[in-house]
Amino acid sequence: MVDLRKREEVRGKLRRVSVGIAGLGGLGSNAAVSLARAGVGKLVLVDFDKVEENNLDRQYYFRHQIGKFKVDALAENIRSIDPSVEVDGFNLRLERGFMEKPFNDVDVVVEALDDAEIKAAFIEEILSKLPGKPLVAASGVAGYGSSDNIKTLRLGNLFLCYDEHAPSSEESVLIAPRVALIANWEANLVLEIVLNRWLSD
Amino acid sequence: MIEVNGKQVEWRKDETVDGLLKRMGYSFPIVIVRVNDRVVPYTEFSRFVVPDNSKIDVVRLVSGG
């Protein structure tokens, strides 16, 4: 049975939380939907891409959304789940030197980008320009199986969902179960960060 | 001595982050390097000299998202 009082207490806290997500592919789209279902009050979503047919094997979009901008398609899907979640979509490519811009005011930033070089640049910029802001990132999404190799590595304000042995997406496949697992690992870390911070405050 | 990913390693005078990565045999193309709680930007790897008694974290990033 669900303890309704506890549920409302947690949802009440999450309602006041804002989370920024950089990249709305397999990681970002699945993490955003989980956070919306959990009751996070505001999501800031950033991507420049459109939904393509070959995204549907792992990303939280539907066939009828092919050709739409991901920020719009994901906002639509979140609205269908819970219209009270505030969604701020930025249809733009993150440019080096300005990557932190959309995330100035959120409580936690989620790195959900694809390319390793861009991931590294984003992590460097967020940690240096937004000191004190928790950043959740991921590396080692590709492939299948080996769930037990995934760990959370904490380095200061960086919470990295990490499989040091995993292949890159150029060497292996990106496929739904592992992508969704790591996306939800990131979302789960966000909850841990915001709820535990409230507890300790 | 310095500590690299939890391992005790001999400190070398004037060694840069680049030099240390090479010495450790880390050939990953993309890494995040943290020296004493500070992330060293990739563009500084060839200039940033690792001080003695440092604690260093090297994290490998691979594509996929």
| Residues of chain A neighbouring B64 (CB-CB closer than 8 A) | 26, 114, 139-142, 166, 168-169, 174, 179
The answer to whether A49 and A92 have CB atoms below 8 angstroms apart is: no
Give the pLDDT confidence score for residue A3 in this predicted structure.
Answer: 85
pTM for the structure as a whole? 0.94
- Cross-chain CB nearest to A162 (options B42, B59, B64): B59
ipTM comes to 0.88
**What are A125-175's pLDDT values in tens digits?**
999 999 999 999 999 999 999 999 999 999 999 999 999 888 888 888 999
Give the pLDDT confidence score for residue A199 in this predicted structure.
Answer: 47
Distance, in Å, from the CA atom of A166 to the CA atom of B6, rounded to the nearest integer, reads 21
B39/A140 touch (CB, cutoff 8 Å), yes or no: no
| Residues of chain A neighbouring B27 (CB-CB closer than 8 A) | none
Residue B49's DSSP bridge partners are B16
How many beta-carbon pairs below 8 A join chains A and B?
Answer: 78
Q: Coil, strand or helix: which one is B58?
A: strand
The tokens for B45 are: 């790897």
pLDDT (average), residues A182-193: 97
Report which secondary-structure segment, H or E, holds A76. Answer: helix A70-81
**What are A37-47's pLDDT values in tens digits?**
999 999 999 99
pLDDT under 70 in chain B at which residues?
none
Give the pLDDT confidence score for residue A198 in this predicted structure.
Answer: 54
Distance, in Å, from the CA atom of B42 to the CA atom of B32, rounded to the nearest integer, reads 8
B59/A139 touch (CB, cutoff 8 Å), yes or no: yes
The answer to whether A109 faces chain B, any CB pair under 8 Å, is no
| Residues of chain A neighbouring B5 (CB-CB closer than 8 A) | none
